[in-house]
Every structure is written in structure tokens, then in C-alpha cells.
Amino acid sequence: MMKTQVDVPHHEYPSDVRAFVEERLAGLSRFNDRIVSLRALLERERESHRVELVASVAHGQTFVVDAHGDFLNQALDQALHRMTHVLARQKDKRVERHRRHGRPGH
């Protein structure tokens, strides 16, 4: 089971935002089944919003992405898109490496 954490410094967002973000983070497990934990940091920077996602994957790997947007949903979607790309690429590399080294005679 993947652990999720949503940090909102200075209580900048309503409490229901935390549950919404946790729900969206849960969807990332489809792209990499070795995610141990996910942390989201939501910050408001003047007129824009910043979302930082940190994924800890098995074997000590950590991936960090961040995104900015005029709206929280926009920044969250962009960060999720970037993390999806990173996690899928990492999984593809792992699978390809396993295939390459698993062939007889190599």
C-alpha cells in the first residue's frame, strides 16, 4: 500500500483540497507499482500556485517534479503529468533492463 501525504504550509487552502489531492495522487500507482510513498507540497506564491510532488520508489529511488499555474488544478494536473512521465519511464527502464539481462546466452 502506497503512503500519501499532502503538505499545505500556512493553511493556504481549504481542508477539502487535501482529500482531493490525495485522491489524485492515488492514480499514480497505475504507472509504477513500486511506489512506496508520495508527498505533495501545495504552495500559493502571490497570484500563482506551486505543486511539488516527491515519489519514493523501492530500492531508494526518489523522483521530484514541480509545476506552477494560475490555478491550483492547473498546477496539480501539470505536476501529475510530469510525475506520470517520470514513473512510467523509470518502470520501462527497469523492465527493459530485466529483459536484456534475462536472455539466455547473454
What pLDDT digit, counting tens, does each position of 14-49 carry? 888 999 999 999 988 887 788 899 999 999 988 899
- Which of 9-13, 81-85, 98-102 is the most confident on average? 81-85
SS (H, E, C) 49-89: EEEEEEEEEHHHEEEEEEEEECCHHHHHHHHHHHHHHHHHH
Instruction: Look at the block and give the residue holding cell 510513498.
Output: 37
DSSP H/E element including 43: strand 35-45
Number of domains in the chain: 1
> Considering the domain boundaries, does residue 106 fall inside one?
no
Supply the pTM of this predicted model: 0.83
Task: Kindly report the CATH number assigned to the domain that includes residue 42.
Answer: 3.30.160.100
Look at residue 19 and tell me if it is in a domain. yes
| Under 8 Å between Cβ of 46 and 81 | no
